[in-house]
Chain A
Amino acid sequence: MAAALSSEHFDNLQLLLKAPSKDAVRDICVQSHRGTHRRLEETTAETMNVTTAQAAQLLRSLHLLSHHVLFHHLGSAEQILRLFPDSFHSSLKNLITKILLENSPTWRTEALRDQISLPQLKELDWRVDMVTGSDSVGRLSVPTCLVQIKMEDPCPSAGIEPVSTVMVELSRESVDTMLDGLGRIRDQLSVVAAK
């Protein structure tokens, strides 16, 4: 979620000057983007030789910054550099900007993939059977289609199985009707895509 970036956040970011290496800075940036938690705060405090409270503030500010960049789709170095106050340490500013730019495409893809949605169609398998007899008709020769649809909820609630499977049976007429419907969707989609 996008929240305002205040000067306090940038003060917290300057703590990164205590990082042992550029890779350490990169690591902290990438991990904080996902979200902060106790373990991360502790390991960051250890790496940077600061208190856990300071590490927590740093991680939170980094998280806000990376999500701000993601939300507003800031794609150039200039756009990101402009966010920093003039007094901010120049090399650190450039390093953070570089790290944010490097990771933006991945973060964007992940955000799109993880967005809320109805269960997504994952797999579709079908089988055509020949029904040769039933309790109402002794001898029969009618094709029927069985379709198995596997769906996955991209953001499942705790304790609920994200993958679900539905099996449906379609008569020949139903397959034709369904194809009619799907054809209409395809036509409607090409009208939208053309705009």
Chain B
Amino acid sequence: FNTWGEHYAALSRLAVGQTLMVNQLVDMDWKFGVTVGTSEIQKVGNIFLQLKLVVRKGNSTENVYMELTLPQFYNFLHEMERAKASMECFS
């Protein structure tokens, strides 16, 4: 009986952890750098950011690659902060 009490919290977490998630985000990698030139313009100096999101689809994962400008990155950060704040309302 006591064993149940001790392990209840961990078991609950495990059970919740098994709850279905669709396209679960598993990992995020990034790199950023500066575009120094293109075939059209010899000298450029723009920062670019590349993100790789690893998404679980069923039993395998899929990589999603995208590029962001700085303003897009700051917008992304801002939106995720708002999402976090919204989630915190519920705990």
Contact residues of A with B, CB < 8 Å?
1-2, 67, 70-73, 108, 111-112, 115-121, 124, 126, 128, 130-131, 134-137, 140-145, 147, 149, 151, 166-172, 174-179, 181-183, 185-186, 188-189, 192-193
Contact residues of B with A, CB < 8 Å?
12, 15-16, 18-25, 28, 30, 32, 34-35, 38-44, 46-51, 53, 55, 64-70, 72-77, 79-84, 86-87, 90-91
Residues in A with CB closer than 8 Å to B23 are 166-169
Which residue of chain A has the shortest Cβ distance to B28 in the bound complex? A181
Main secondary structure of the interface of B (DSSP, over half): mixed
- Docked complex Cα distance between A124 and B78 (Å): 11
Task: Looking at the assembled complex, report how far the CB atom of A3 sits from the nearest CB atom of chain B, in whole angstroms.
Answer: 12
Which residue of chain A has the shortest Cβ distance to B82 in the bound complex? A126
- Docked complex Cα distance between A189 and B62 (Å): 27
Which residue of chain B has the shortest Cβ distance to A71 in the bound complex? B42
Contact of B80 among A140, A175, A188 (CB under 8 A): A175
Residues in B with CB closer than 8 Å to A67 are 40
Q: Is A147 a contact of B48 with CB atoms below 8 Å?
A: no
Q: A120-B68, A144-B21, A176-B84 are in contact. List 11 more A-B contacts (CB 8 A).
A: A118-B65, A120-B66, A121-B76, A126-B80, A128-B90, A134-B18, A147-B83, A166-B55, A169-B22, A181-B30, A189-B49
